[in-house]
Amino acid sequence: MSPSHHLGLFFYSFGHYFKRMSRKIIVAVTGASGAIYAKVLLDKLSRLQSQLETVAVVMSDNAKDVWKFELNNEDYAKYPFSFYQKNDFYAPFASGSAKFDTMIVCPCSMGTLARIAGGTSSDLTTRAADVMLKERRRLILLPRETPLSLVHLRNMVAVTEAGGIICPASPSFYSLPANFEELATTVVDRALGLAGLETNGYEWGS
């Protein structure tokens, strides 16, 4: 192998490593039922820190209440991430200049979906989502609501047309999940895959 080929491989590997290390992720947790999805997402991200530079988290007041109710008062602030208040428009990711590359809203309430679809930046979550769309960066919404009204469906279409990804919190069963957390993991792994992160989760046919 020639020296120039070795050098090319080095720069390719270094560039791939740098790209992985420079990932900046926003996680927004809304007040929809399904706090277990948010918990599993934060658990997974805490184990994927070698792929990440920054994880920023914003939770609505209702999200905090639902988290405590559905997860038996488990402490959401235990994770090694930066947490921001819902109306903190001084947060770095309230501006496109901070170059956060991916935002995951998990779970995504129908109210939040509607505000994102309508371009209404009424809090940090909707402002950050608006930034992701205008900067042509990755926005992934995990709605859990069912059944869906025509209004909900039209809002999903609007977000999709604007460049967002609707990833319904619909778990799969072919991995034979043994408990609620494993069931939620089937959804979270799919969302993280859409975000371009390697989770080593179950894959069909593996």
Q: Which residues are annotated as a binding site for dimethylallyl phosphate?
A: 174, 190
Q: Give the pLDDT band of residue 201 (cuts 50, 70, 90).
A: confident
Report the chain's mean pLDDT, rounded to a whole number: 92
Which of 16-30, 66-80, 133-147 is predicted with the least confidence, judged by mean pLDDT? 16-30
What is the distance between the alpha carbons of residues 196 and 138, in angstroms, rounded to a whole number? 10
- Has residue 8 been placed in a domain? no
Q: Which residues are annotated as a binding site?
A: 31-33, 60, 109-112, 144, 174, 190
Token representation of residue 113: 């979906």
Domain count, the chain: 1
- Has residue 59 been placed in a domain? yes
Q: What is the pLDDT of residue 1?
A: 54
Residue of higher predicted confidence among 17 and 84: 84
Report the pLDDT averaged over residues 29-41.
98
Owning domain of residue 131: 24-194
What is the distance between the alpha carbons of residues 155 and 120, in angstroms, rounded to a whole number? 13
**Would the pLDDT of 11 be above 90?**
no
Q: Give the pLDDT band of residue 14 (cuts 50, 70, 90).
A: very low
- Has residue 124 been placed in a domain? yes
Q: Which residues are annotated as a binding site for FMN?
A: 31-33, 60, 109-112, 144
CATH number at residue 49: 3.40.50.1950
Q: Note if the bond before 177 is cis, omega within 30 degrees.
A: no
- Has residue 10 been placed in a domain? no
- Has residue 204 been placed in a domain? no
What is the distance between the alpha carbons of residues 39 and 71, in angstroms, rounded to a whole number? 9
What is the distance between the alpha carbons of residues 42 and 35, in angstroms, rounded to a whole number? 11
**Would the pLDDT of 17 be above 50?**
no
- Has residue 123 been placed in a domain? yes
Residue of higher predicted confidence among 203 and 29: 29
Report the pLDDT averaged over residues 80-105.
97
- Has residue 63 been placed in a domain? yes
pLDDT tens-digit map of 103-156: 999 999 999 999 999 999 999 999 999 999 999 999 999 999 999 999 999 999
Q: What is the pLDDT of residue 200?
A: 84
What is the distance between the alpha carbons of residues 8 and 115, in angstroms, rounded to a whole number? 47
Q: What is the pLDDT of residue 22?
A: 78
What is the distance between the alpha carbons of residues 2 and 89, in angstroms, rounded to a whole number? 53
- Has residue 1 been placed in a domain? no
What are the residues whose beta carbons fall under 8 Å from the beta carbon of 11, sequence distance 6 or more?
Answer: none
